[in-house]
Structure 1
């Protein structure tokens, strides 16, 4: 039944002091500290903290965004904590999942965040569809045949192997050789 703290700032220049003071005041017996962006995959202190937690323990953080990088990750953490009997206490947002009200608040926040993510994705899809109807092109502009042939010649002149040219440009060996053997002063074919 330990109270374990986790503090994280996004860069080396930021200070953990405010979070550490709050976690200490909240009675944390142990605090894991991280000075890394939440978007980084490798968060060693986070992993150590998650491994340390046991049934009946409470993880104490100052804000939800200190814990998870995405709503999906937050929902997964919540499910894991529920399954393993671990509680979450978010100080600044007054959420304590050891109470029925705290569980409800946390579940609602996660659901709202998930809903917002889905709405954003839906609006993005609609925008893309509308743009496609208006003949907006996506992705890199296609090279003209002449520009592509010139690029292949340059890459080969720099020593790139034929097999690599084939993979890069998604062309057959015969086509690559045809381009390389064509006279370079021929008229561009666009």
Structure 2
């Protein structure tokens, strides 16, 4: 019976350190830097294949395992079939009990609802800003700044082309480590 950890961050710029520290009692930890929205996560799949009856999978938060209720329930069901329990450290939940299974399902559904509500509000805000004729923020132009600099444009040319200040270009460069 092994204790198996799974740690994930969404981007390569983020650190797994906090999660790995919380999972320090695990026999093995599968870790990856990949968006949870991507259905093909190699390390998650490897972890799900690795676990055996009687093992326990530990994660720090539900959002590290799945970003929607459907995927979460699929993973929990697969673990159940393999007779593997799931522990969610920040919530103190263990699916070895029926109450733990219920809690994972409810919290997963609530988290999905909150995420969908946030995305709806964000889309409404963007639509409202566009309808009022607001220009995209400098932050929204980060990718364009990056592309133009890579193509060889000077910082001053980038600022002029994108109609942003030179200091904004420098700020984007420093935040994006260009």
Instruction: Provide TM-score, normalisation by structure 2.
Output: 0.59
Cα distance, 1:35–1:111 mapped onto 2, change above 3 Å: closer
Aligned pair in 2 of structure 1 residues 42, 110: CA closer, same or farther (>3 Å)?
closer
- Give deviations 1:81-106, integer Å, cap 9, x for gaps: 22221100000111111134322322
Residue 9 of structure 2 aligns with which residue? 9
Task: Trace 1:15-94 onto structure 2 (pairs within 5 A).
Answer: 15-24=15-24, 27-94=25-92
- Write the deviation string for residues 126-183 of structure 1: whole angstroms up to 9, x where unpaired: xxxxxxxxxxxxxxxxxxxxxxxxxxxxxxxxxxxxxxxxxxxxxxxxxxxxxxxxxx
Please list, as runs of the form range in 1=range in 2, the aligned pairs for 1:109-188 lying within 5 A after superposition: 109-112=107-110, 116=113
When you count helix as a share of all residues, which structure comes out higher? 2
SS at match of 2:23: helix
Q: Secondary structure at the match of 2:90?
A: coil
Aligned length: 119
Cα distance change on mapping 1:110 and 1:11 into 2, 3 Å = closer
- Alpha-carbon shift at residue 46 of structure 1 (Å): 1.1
Contact 2:32 2:43 in 1 (8 A): yes
Give the Cα separation in 2 of the matches to 1:58 and 1:105. 17
Asked if 1 retains the 8 angstrom alpha-carbon contact of 2:68 and 2:109, the reply is: no
* Runs of 4+ in structure 1 over 4 Å off: 111-114
Return 93-102 or 27-36, whichever deviates more. Answer: 93-102
**C-alpha displacement at 1:112, in angstroms?**
4.6
Structure 1 residues 112 and 69: CA distance shift in structure 2, 3 A: closer
Larger Rg: 1
Cα 1:16–1:109 change in 2 (3 A) is same
RMSD: 2.5
Distance of 1:86 and 1:110 partners within structure 2: 19
SS in structure 2 of the partner of residue 92 of structure 1: helix
Deviation at 1:37, TM superposition (A): 0.9
